Amino acid sequence: DLIVAVVGDVMQMIGETCSTATLELLGGQNALIDALAAVARETGKPFVVVLMSSKPMVLPASVIGTNGVVVDMAPAEGVSALLWAPSPGMKGGRAIAEIILGRTEPSGRLPITFPRHAGQLPVYYNQIRGQHGNRYADLTQDPAFAFGEGLSYTTFAYGEVVIDGADTPFSTDGTVRASVTLTNTGDRPGTEVVQVYVGDLVTSYSWTDRELKAFRRVELQPGESATIEFDIPVADCTIVDPDARRIVEPGEFELLIGHSSRREDLKRATFTVV
């Protein structure tokens, strides 16, 4: 047995000319989630929240935990899983049921970031370095769910990032070859989306902290390991100058590989461009 709550947006509140003052669920949906979470705690039954929305929503603490500043960050109590189903279509119900029942491996990753509060916005991962920081005394700048994030029914472990020829500077027409060992540490077959981000550590003009440069879906059996290689052209490691030209500046870069855009999910190596 399990408890499932299907919540979400309404058509009248999405799309162009439909800006809203809040990103919270309408009506009594938060109260419904909190009540079902309490039942799940009392009965020990798994509780799954299915969120149908076309945009990031602000979910209650029973789903995302506390804010991490005034109250210590704590996991959601009572909620076993959150499944985001944006516009799932006619066959969406069957697909959702197969994922919840474990017949299909969930392998999607977030193309957006979910904030903890509308006051966090903007909260996208590739902000200009130093743009916001910790803006509020009562709210962390850490999002509820980050770009690229997503879970499956197994777990994966990443080894350290290795860059071929990292001791030798790269030219702007060169290619950075990086590799990482990925291991399925769970007891089910699974798919991981390995993500590669690059950041220019010192720039002449304000630029993003890191940018997604590549990704790859990798299927592994339980206990299986694989070495995943990526070729990143140095010409893709650009910033934009005041004349709106994309340029590659000489200096040190960081290459990050991992499970999501969160820094704590990424393994790091550096390379130099001349």
Host domain of residue 238: 156-273
d(CA 126, CA 69): 23
Both 7 and 91 in one domain: the answer is yes
pLDDT of residue 22: 87
- Residue 250 belongs to a domain: yes
d(CA 29, CA 47): 15
Contacts of 68 (CB under 8 A, 6+ apart): 140, 142
- Counted domains in the chain: 2
- Residue 75 belongs to a domain: yes
Both 254 and 193 in one domain: the answer is yes
Query: What CATH number corresponds to the domain at position 81?
Result: 3.40.50.1700
d(CA 109, CA 258): 12
Both 89 and 187 in one domain: the answer is no
- Cα Rg for the chain, rounded, in angstroms? 21
Query: What CATH number corresponds to the domain at position 171?
Result: 2.60.40.10
CB atoms under 10 Å from CB of 202, counted, come to: 9
d(CA 267, CA 193): 14
pLDDT of residue 70: 52
Q: What is the 3-state secondary structure (H, E, C) of 11-70?
A: HHHCCCCCCCCCCECCCCHHHHHHHHHHHHHHHCCCEEEEEECCCCCECCHHHHCCCCCC
Q: What is the pTM of this model?
A: 0.92
pLDDT of residue 134: 62
- Residue 151 belongs to a domain: no
95 in helix, strand or coil?
A: helix
Asked if residues 21 and 121 have their Cβ atoms less than 8 Å apart, the reply is: no
Task: Among 62, 85, 104, identify where a domain stops.
Answer: 104
Q: Where are the beta strands (DSSP E) in the chain?
A: 3-8, 47-52, 81-84, 156-158, 162-163, 175-184, 190-200, 211-220, 225-233, 239-240, 246-247, 251-258, 266-273
Asked if residues 199 and 266 have their Cβ atoms less than 8 Å apart, the reply is: no
CB atoms under 10 Å from CB of 136, counted, come to: 13
- Residue 133 belongs to a domain: no
pLDDT digit string (tens) for the chain, length 274 residues: 899 999 998 877 777 888 888 899 999 999 999 999 999 999 999 999 999 998 999 999 889 886 655 545 555 667 889 999 998 889 999 999 999 999 999 999 999 999 998 888 888 899 888 776 666 777 778 899 999 999 999 999 999 999 999 999 999 999 999 999 999 999 999 999 999 999 999 999 989 999 999 999 999 999 999 999 999 999 999 999 999 999 999 999 999 999 999 999 999 999 999 9
Both 100 and 160 in one domain: the answer is no
Both 71 and 173 in one domain: the answer is no
- Residue 138 belongs to a domain: no
Tokens 């149908």 -> residue? 52
Copy the structure tokens of residue 203: 């720039």
* φ, ψ (nearest 5 deg) of residue 233: -60, 135
